[in-house]
Amino acid sequence: MAEALIHPSAVIDPAAKIGEDCEIGPFCVVGPEVTLGRGVVLKSHVVVTGNTEIGDETQIFSFASIGEVPQDRKFKGESTRLVIGARNRIREHVTMNPGTEGGGGITRVGDDGLFLAGSHVAHDCQVGNRVTIVNHAALAGHCVVEDDVTIGGLAGVHQFVRIGRGAMIGALTMVTADVIPFGLVQGPRGQLDGLNFVGLKRRGASREELHALRNMLSRLGEGSFRDTARQMADEETGPMVREVLDFILGPSDRSFLAPHS
């Protein structure tokens, strides 16, 4: 293992923990409570501050601001954290904030994510693995984004919204309610516009699974999501349908986006 390669113009607090094989480029700033895992790359002009942990081999591009105080009026300077997993690519001008006391005190980002230029992950968000957030899309505080979600460019996700595994949010969409796993949401005021069949096929879903999901969505559109899901809960279903039903019946601070009529 090689020592970290640090440009002479970078400002690194002596208390920061810098892993082996890290590369820290020109004019970067790294604060005293920061931990960088093995092989982390900060390209140039990157600010990493606060109580922030960044996992192995994550790359952060120019002018990103990671770990700065939450953009929340209720934040009073309490000690909170931002934990980012391994092998993420965090592009130019991305902002990610730590948690708040009222939201559990921690913002988490999983592994293998792609966060394109100008995207934002707000305080207390819980973001899964292999998530893609496209240019200038934003997560408000307390959102939960499960694995394999794609959020299109300039989309906005309201605070406390949950987005289920494998869902896709179209560009320029405002999401104000929970999105079921594998859902496809698009439009200025987002509506559930079917299922993310492209993503499901890419992940190897069978014809039978796709057919079962399509039938489930048709039934859910006939009434209240939760009432219908309760009726379906005792039926024999495959694992993907069961995942959607469990998501609908789980705890939430929001309603659900209804299917497009």
Residue 141 annotated to the active site: yes
CA atoms of 4 and 59, how far apart (whole Å): 14
Q: Computed from CA positions of residues 244, 248, 251, 252, in that sequence, does the dihedral angle turn out positive or negative?
A: positive
DSSP assignment letter at 104: T
Catalytic residue among 123, 152, 164, 183: 123
CA atoms of 59 and 243, how far apart (whole Å): 32
Residue 37 annotated to the active site: no
CA atoms of 214 and 261, how far apart (whole Å): 15
Catalytic residue among 124, 152, 156, 178: 124
Catalytic residue among 141, 164, 166, 199: 141
Identify whether the C-beta of residue 181 lies closer than 8 Å to the C-beta of residue 169: no
Residue 124 annotated to the active site: yes
Identify whether the C-beta of residue 187 lies closer than 8 Å to the C-beta of residue 165: no
Q: Which two tokens stand for residue 68?
A: 């700065």
> Catalytic site residues?
123-124, 141
